[in-house]
Amino acid sequence: MALAEAGARGRLLRWPRVLLFGDSITEYSFQENGWGAYLAERLVRKCDVVNRGISGYNTRWAKLILPRLITESTSADSIVAVTIFFGANDSALKELNPKQHVPLEEYAANLKSMVQYLKSVDVTADRIILITPPPLHEPAWEKACLAKGDKLNRSNATTGQYAQACVQVARECGTDVLDLWTLMQKNQDFSSYLSDGLHLSTKGNSFLAAQLWSRLDNKLSALPSLLPYWRDVDHTNPEASLL
Q: Which residues are catalytic?
A: 24, 196, 199
The torsion angle over the Cα atoms of residues 89, 91, 95 and 96, rounded to 10 degrees, is: -40
Nearest to 38 by CA among 162, 208, 152, 169: 208
First-to-last CA distance in the chain? 16
What is the SS3 assignment for 128? strand
Please list the residues that pair with 130 across neighbouring strands: 84, 177
CA distances from 103 to 58, 68, 83, 140, 232 (A): 11, 24, 22, 24, 56
